[in-house]
Chains A and B, each alone.
Chain A
Amino acid sequence: MRWIERLGRRLRILFRKSRLERDLDDELRAHVEMETEELQRRGMDSARARREALRRFGGVERTKERVRDERGGRMLDDFVQDLRYGVRSLRKSPGFTASALLVLALGIGSAVALFGVVDAVLLEPLPYPAANRLVRVWPARGAERTAFSYPELKDWRDRSSSLVGLGLYSTLPADYVYLGADAPTELATEWVGQDFFRVLGMAPVAGRTLLPEDEANHRLVAVISWGLWQRLFGGDPSVVGRTLEIDYRNFEVVGVMPRGFTFPVDAEVDLWLPITVVPQDDIPTENRGVRFLGAIGRLAPDASVETARQELGGIARSLEGTYPDTNAGVSDALVQPLSENTVGDVRSALFVALGAVGFILLLACANVANLLLARGSSRAREVALRMSLGAPAGRVVRQLLTESVLLAGMGGVLGLGLAWAATAALARGSAGLLPRAGEIGLDGTVVGAALLVTLLAAALAGVLPALRAADVAPADDLREGSRASSTGLKGLRLRRALVAAEVALAVLLLTGAGLLVRSLGALTRVDPGFETEGRIAMTLTLSDQKHPERTEWMGLYHQILDRLAAHPDVVDAGAIRYLPFRGEGESIPVQVPGLYEPAPEAQRYGHLFQISDDLFQALGMRLLRGRVPGPTDGPQDPPVVVVNEAFQREFFHGQDPVGRRFEPGHDARNEIEIVGVVADVHFAGLAEPTEPALYVRNDQNPRIQMSYVVRSSGDPLALVGDMRRIVREVDPDQPITEIVPLAELTSETLARPRFFTALLGGFAALALILAALGVYGVLAYVVRGRAREMGLRIALGASGGLVARRVLLQGMAPVFIGLGAGLVGAAALSRFVESLLFGVTPLDVPTYLAVAAVLASVAAVACLVPAWSASRVDPIESLRAE
């Protein structure tokens, strides 16, 4: 407790300083007067007594100073004094202060804003209790993960002891029709298992979640989201127990989940239904071969990811032995922490961006250090004066450091404001591109980081200049200060080194951004294999609840297709299950007798697409050989398919497959004939390789969900109203899932690379500006300091051009050093961006050349102004100025 009292006393001392000083004055004066009176009592006259008392006392000011030292709180006292002094001296040079603050605010602001993004996306725990114990679980063929079938998942759930629960959820998008609103709508539905909510550790705000009995007894019950509760029921607390008619069936609402709850993170889900409400003729969930489920587990207290993987792998192998028909090759398990799985491939991109802002921060600090150094040399006289008046060097260093802390502190406050605005912009710009973008914002952690970054900036920018400035010999500096001679350009070497470092940092950032720009260019030049211009797609799911007979809903499919084709503005109309770039699809195992008969664990798959007869024209895909399936290939006719070039390469070793047959799986009774070959489509994404694909006529293998693709003779968006009308006329209860121009599909896949390229490009531009400012600042300072020398040279006959050339060369010397170092560094660091690149190697020579050219020319421009002013020095003026 003693130290608290002492601290209290120190603070009192600080805040009542004037009173304390008065007290001390009074105390010492009283002493002298008592001494005087004593001497008078001994017979001295009053004037002599007073002189003698003062003589005996000694130096009053020195005593006072020593008392102040002993009183405690001296450091604090000095600090406040330094702070006041700092504020005064910063106010005296507003130009310097403004530019330093701007640079610091930009550096700190961008670092903090990006840290906010990284914090929300990568560092903050997922929004579930004890989220670090949550894992994603997959059955695996070798190292390749696959989905669960429902019976398989139940077996894992029952047998595992390393997981306290294994929650299942359907990876298939399910949209249930809801007719209670003005227009038929679809509710985003997730089929889940009994452990789902328990594993995530989430309790409902009303009612209950799912029970094992719900799943076991195929109960029609629903847990609804907070959003749906507000939307459909106005937040009515009596919603539990009410009936919700969806997809022509009555579900009982049993619970409401809290606001913001969803899984996976960022998924938009309206309601959760037990997996067992899915009719067997919709998805044969009881079939072990039908793999469509994802699973999340919570590790038991004594389990780790590795022990869980071992135990689950054993379960997989035992099931493989029991059910060889469906589980052959599925002999292992994969377990991954949920947080890693959620972040996925943006991790490396975000770390690259974080590294980039780190460099920006360094650049900003180097810049401010440079400004402080320049200021330090022009303040050399002031420092020399203070030191010759007895200020110890440590005290001067501390005062100068206080000034840089003050500067960084104000820069930090401004930077935080900047970060606040930038974070909001980043959150908006990254919505849908980054996982958990909705959580991006400034919170305690981020503000804490801002404080840390600010202190770091103060130290980085302040230490060197402060040490440098205090390293003066008072006599020299006072004498020399009156003449701004060239020997006054102390620390010039240090400042040049800083400029070189700034240029090197800018090179790193420019190279990174340049590689991303080249990569984005390569990506946009990829031919996706289909046309987007003038094309628009409408996705909808026909209801097999309302129209149970297949002929009935297939009739609707043909009606919609025919009416779209008959529209006067429609050139071609087709339909396909699964639009490109959406990451959805289904695949079947392929066997070609005599050519491709792999072991189960080496089995390769082909992506299966259901199409209409005119789909290839509508999408602009190119048929290379053979024919497209047509009306002669009806539901009762032998099945035929068109395959792509990748299929031909993979399974036919390049031989012409037209007219040949293959088997889906090992089912020799089900041979399918290949009637045509179509050009490859980059279905999974522009950067993804093409994979084997088969196209089957929808009449032979029908799907209720299809995307209707039309090619318009004019603006495709003008068709939207008519497309909706056609659907309404065919079935007024039919909701439409989505209408999207195909061009938008392409821009969706480019959105993330564009976002990161823009981000890094912005940082690179900032770096370029900061480096140019650094180059300019130092050279301008040199020219100012050497005006006399320049004047002398001109007076002695040197031409202005010669002087300018010399200055230019001097300015560019550190630039070239930094350029060289930066290019070497960039080449060394470029492997970290490799995973973000497409079609460009990390050592792409044109990029490096372009970076060097851009930087050299920007630096040259920055040198031109000082060089020009050097050539214009008036010899008479500059010599008279002394």
Chain B
Amino acid sequence: MPRSKADLLQGTLDLLILKALTLGALHGWGISKRIRQMSGEILEVNQGSLYPALHRLEDRGLIAAEWGVSNEGRRAKFYTLTPAGRAQFVEERDNWSLFSAAVQQVLQTG
């Protein structure tokens, strides 16, 4: 169980949120659930970090929010990716790949 509580690296939460939203509009609970599922139940997003991050991304214009109704018929705030957010996601994803590949290489060296 300890690995599921692993703290997310600084900045990676934003990237994960953006990725989660590339597949369509989601509310906060849905985002945390999707990240958990996509990480194979390893990454657990702390709500105390999720909501501030959502509002930060909204303030920066990378995501947009709108009230809507969920599949279960519940009123919820749905977040979608803006064009700027999509561009940001592509850029951050590429940076991450480069970064993780580099770290991987360092760790595998002799």
Q: Chain A: residues with CB nearer than 8 A to chain B?
A: 2, 5-6, 9, 23-24, 26-28, 30-31, 33-35, 37, 56-59, 62-63, 66-67, 69-72
Contacts and interface: CB of A to CB of B under 8 A. Distances in A.
A33 B28 CA distance: 12
Smallest CB-CB A-B distances: 5 pairs: A70-B56, A66-B52, A72-B59, A34-B29, A70-B52
A46 to B, nearest CB: 15
Given A2-B61, A63-B47, A70-B59, A30 B77 contact: yes
A424 to B, nearest CB: 50
A26 B77 contact: yes
A67 B51 contact: yes
Nearest to B57: A70
Contacts of B47: 31, 56-58, 63
Contacts of A6: 59, 61
A-side interface mostly: helix
Given A6-B59, A6-B61, A34-B29, A69 B52 contact: yes
In this complex, the member of A5, A27, A63 whose beta carbon has the largest number of chain B beta carbons within 10 angstroms is A27
Contacts of A27: 27-28, 51, 76-77
Given A5-B61, A34-B29, A56-B47, 17 more contacts: A27-B27, A27-B76, A30-B27, A30-B29, A30-B74, A31-B27, A31-B29, A33-B74, A34-B70, A34-B74, A58-B48, A66-B48, A66-B51, A66-B52, A67-B51, A70-B59, A71-B55
A59 B77 contact: no
19 contacts: A24-B51, A26-B75, A27-B27, A27-B51, A27-B77, A31-B28, A31-B47, A33-B74, A34-B27, A34-B72, A56-B47, A57-B48, A58-B47, A59-B48, A62-B48, A63-B47, A63-B48, A66-B48, A69-B52
Contact of A67 (B55, B61, B74, B76): B55
B51 A30 contact: no
A533 to B, nearest CB: 84
Contacts of A72: 59
B77 A9 contact: no
B46 interface: yes
Interface string B43-78: 000111001110110110100000100101011110
A2 B83 CA distance: 14
Nearest to A62: B48
A53 to B, nearest CB: 10
A64 B67 CA distance: 18
A154 B9 CA distance: 88
A408 B11 CA distance: 43
A23 B56 contact: no
A659 B28 CA distance: 118
B83 to A, nearest CB: 13
A61 to B, nearest CB: 10
Nearest to B47: A57
Contacts of B58: 71
A27 B75 CA distance: 9
Nearest to B70: A34
Given A27-B51, A70-B53, A37 B72 contact: yes
Contacts of B76: 27, 30, 34
Contacts of A56: 47
B70 to A, nearest CB: 8
A27 B50 CA distance: 12
Interface string B73-99: 011110000000000000000000000
Nearest to B58: A71
A69 to B, nearest CB: 7
Given A2-B61, A31-B28, A34-B29, A70 B55 contact: yes
Nearest to A58: B48
Nearest to B53: A70
Nearest to B32: A31
A71 B59 contact: yes
A58 B46 contact: yes
Nearest to A20: B55
B45 to A, nearest CB: 11
B20 to A, nearest CB: 15
Given A26-B77, A30-B75, A57-B47, A67 B52 contact: yes
Contacts of A59: 48
A244 to B, nearest CB: 74
B31 to A, nearest CB: 10
B52 A9 contact: no
In this complex, the member of A9, A56, A62, A63 whose beta carbon has the largest number of chain B beta carbons within 10 angstroms is A63
A403 to B, nearest CB: 29
A6 B29 CA distance: 26
Nearest to B76: A30
A62 B72 CA distance: 28
Contacts of A23: 67, 77
Nearest to B31: A31
Contacts of B74: 30, 33-34
A709 B27 CA distance: 101
Contacts of A2: 61
Contacts of B53: 70
Contacts of A62: 48
Contacts of B56: 70-71
Contacts of B27: 27, 30-31, 34
Contacts of A34: 27, 29, 70, 72, 74, 76
A28 B27 CA distance: 10
Nearest to A27: B77
A59 B58 CA distance: 22
A247 to B, nearest CB: 80
B52 A35 contact: no
Contacts of B67: 23
A2 B46 CA distance: 30
A57 B51 CA distance: 11
Contacts of B72: 34, 37
A333 B29 CA distance: 89
Nearest to A56: B47
Contacts of A67: 51-52, 55
A483 B52 CA distance: 44
A35 B55 contact: no
Contacts of B61: 2, 5-6
A215 to B, nearest CB: 72
Nearest to B28: A31
Contacts of A33: 74
A59 B52 CA distance: 13
A34 B28 CA distance: 10
Contacts of A37: 72
Interface in B15-33: 27-29
Nearest to A23: B77
Contacts of A66: 48, 51-52
A233 B55 CA distance: 75
Contact of B51 (A5, A26, A35, A63): A63
Nearest to B77: A27
A33 B73 CA distance: 12
B29 A35 contact: yes
A880 B100 CA distance: 74
A13 B56 CA distance: 13
B66 to A, nearest CB: 11
Nearest to A28: B51
Contacts of A57: 47-48
Contacts of B51: 24, 27-28, 63, 66-67
Nearest to A71: B55
In this complex, the member of A9, A66, A70 whose beta carbon has the largest number of chain B beta carbons within 10 angstroms is A70
A406 B1 CA distance: 56
B81 to A, nearest CB: 17
A23 B59 CA distance: 15
B52 A63 contact: yes
